[in-house]
Structure 1
Amino acid sequence: MTRNGITTEAANASIDRACRMLRLPTIRSTFEQAVHDATKDGLSYPAFLAELLMAECDDRSRRRSERRVKAANFPREKSLRAFDFDANPDIDPAVVHQLATCEWVTKGQPLCLIGDSGTGKSHLLIALGTEAAMNGHRVKYTLATRLVNELVEAADELVLSKTIARYGRVDLLLIDELGYMALDKKGAELLFQVLTEREETNSIAIASNASFSEWTNTFTDPRLCAAIVDRLTFGGNIIETGTTSYRLAHTKADAAATK
């Protein structure tokens, strides 16, 4: 029996009902254990309330981050913690960890990852995109060919402006595997629109297996290619992942570890 005559069971039932109405799932699920711990530790009422509310806030923040990561549509889970910098000495860990602060995303700067296949570009692209999503940014991942196909279909269905606007609303657009195949004139021009008509506060990150001088194989119009390169390099960040096969080195290391 509590001091005001309400039984503990009745009080717990009221708390449960109130948490449901106010949408406080963390407090609802942890309240009884929190009461036990607070009694054991002798917490004051304000300290007890503060701990409950902070737990709810932390859990909401975690769930929001999970939703942003899911909305980014990453093809697989990749993290910076799992990236083996020893497997590719061409990549400077200090540069990558600085990018992980997401200051470049906040400033709307572009990022280009340039290097041969298997050098860790996609891993870094997804990992840095994940960091951005967890830091509160709206992120979208796509393959270059998939994006171009979507744009061409949107143009044919007369919804191109709507599609471009949708990609323009995200804080960070990640485009993987640029340069793996040449684009026809229409596809190149549509991709150019997405890359150049975004707001200045929005960022673009691109992973490509071709150096900038080879982008004319993808964007066959030299002027169009030059405009895209200028847009992505002006004030941007460039990481050259080189020719060392991160994938092969990592596979050999895993094989050696199992012997």
Structure 2
Amino acid sequence: MNQQLEYRLKSLGLEYTALHIDHLVEDASRDNISYLDFLINLVDEEWEQREKQLLEKRIHTARFPFSKSISDFDFEFQPSVNEKRVKETLTCRFIENGENRILLGPPGVGKTHLAISFGMEALIKGYTVKFITADEFVNECRKASAKEILHYFINRMSKPDILIVDELGYFPFDELTANVFFQIVSKRYERGAMILTSNKSYVEWGKVFGDDVLATAILDRLLHHSVTFNIKGESFRMKEKKQAGIIPVQL
């Protein structure tokens, strides 16, 4: 390939085209396609590669603990999950409307699976997502406070199109982290979507945040535009252990 052409393609940010121009030209010559079709193919290849790279970057930034897809979710095993509402959430219209999705239920029923699936679909559609467990939230908040950069932490949690906070309720928040959580919820209210998972019912959130009044204020903002998934059923993890024969089917 002409070195000047390669240099100029890379200078324009067309890295993929610069690397593959030879075989693209060969394919065009072999298939005897028009100049316009060649240009369309070249732009399509570059576009698809950039979209792939951007998606990989968004996935990395989201910090999911593992990858999950809605195609892996067993609705028959968990009939309390409203499949119609799940499909509606996967359209991602709730993001544009600044709505929230809250998943409640005991451990192992698929709350995190659904939350990550919603987040992955949003990433594919071009939105930004931040995933953080409640425990990580508390730890990062305390570190930011110690370094006197709480404003940075609050802004970072307020910036993504979707903020996913997983496992809310396993450990109580102290006064500092509860107030910071309230500030983030307030900043995101009607502007940025949130997805929360919790093993606690709403009436127990006063204990989670250590303050009934604060919990009421948080719920008031979260529930104003939201859909709640109350998941009731057996644990997927228990199901897998039973199938593997690790524990007896009848306890």
Is this a same-fold pair by TM over 0.5?
A: yes
Deviations 1:2-54 (A, max 9, x none): xxxxxxxxx54444333222221222233233223323332110111111011
Partner of 2:80: 90
Q: Partners in 2 of 1:103 and 1:44 — Cα distance? A: 40
| Equivalent in 119, 127, 130 of residue 120 of structure 2 | 130
- 1:172 corresponds to 2:159: no
Q: Report the secondary structure of 2:72's partner residue.
A: coil
- Most deviating of 36-45 and 109-118: 36-45
Alignment of 1:67-216 (within 5 A): 67-198=57-188, 200-216=190-206
- Equivalenced residues, count: 245
Change (3 A) 1:234 1:226: same
CA positional deviation for 1:114: 0.6
Q: Report the secondary structure of 2:164's partner residue.
A: strand
CA positional deviation for 1:93: 2.4
CA positional deviation for 1:144: 0.9
Q: Report the secondary structure of 1:206's partner residue.
A: strand
The residue identity in structure 2 corresponding to 1:140 is: K
CA positional deviation for 1:192: 1.6
- Following TM superposition, the consecutive aligned residue runs of length 4 or more in structure 1 with deviations greater than 6 angstroms are none
Q: Partners in 2 of 1:228 and 1:75 — Cα distance? A: 26
Q: Report the secondary structure of 2:130's partner residue.
A: strand
**TM-score where L is the length of structure 2:** 0.89
- 1:28 corresponds to 2:11: no
CA positional deviation for 1:63: 0.8
Judge conservation of contact 1:119–1:243 (CA < 8 Å) in 2: yes
Q: Partners in 1 of 2:32 and 2:243 — Cα distance? A: 52
Q: Partners in 1 of 2:218 and 2:114 — Cα distance? A: 22
Partner of 2:249: none
User: How well do the aligned residues superpose, as a CA RMSD in angstroms?
Assistant: 2.0
Change (3 A) 1:247 1:92: farther
Partner of 1:229: 219
The residue identity in structure 2 corresponding to 1:196 is: S
Change (3 A) 1:194 1:36: same
The residue identity in structure 2 corresponding to 1:59 is: Q
The residue identity in structure 2 corresponding to 1:63 is: Q
Q: Report the secondary structure of 2:76's partner residue.
A: helix
CA positional deviation for 1:181: 1.6
- Most deviating of 201-210 and 85-94: 85-94
Partner of 1:241: 231
Q: Partners in 2 of 1:218 and 1:242 — Cα distance? A: 21
The residue identity in structure 2 corresponding to 1:38 is: A
